């Protein structure tokens, strides 16, 4: 069996490998311990009601209910 490399295949492999390396570099540089702690410590709480004189009804849906702390 022969493996044939031409200029187009070599260029596509170089682009593929460089893209993978760049994406891994970005992923590892963004995922640091400080970034995770900052995101967890600045969690905003939901607004359940607002005092108003107008008669209005709002429908909300919490899709991340399992991530809320119990208690």
User: What pLDDT, in 10s, does the model give residues 11-63?
Assistant: 999 999 999 999 988 887 776 555 555 555 566 777 777 888 888 887 777 67
Write down the domain spans for the chain.
1-45
The confidence score (pLDDT) of residue 17 equals: 96
CA–CA dist 43, 36 (Å, integer): 11
3-class DSSP state for residue 15?
A: helix
Output the CA–CA distances (angstroms, integers) from residue 62 to 4, 29, 45, 54, 57, in the order listed.
Answer: 55, 31, 12, 24, 16
Q: What pLDDT shows up at residue 34? A: 55
Identify the pLDDT of residue 19: 96
């Amino acid at each position: 069996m022969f493996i044939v490399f031409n200029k187009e295949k070599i260029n596509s492999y170089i682009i593929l490998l460089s893209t993978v390396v760049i994406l891994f570099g970005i992923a590892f540089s963004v995922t640091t311990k400080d970034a995770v702690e900052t995101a967890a410590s600045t969690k905003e709480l939901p607004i359940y009601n607002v005092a108003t004189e107008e008669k209005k009804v709002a429908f909300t849906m919490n899709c991340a209910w399992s991530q809320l702390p119990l208690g």
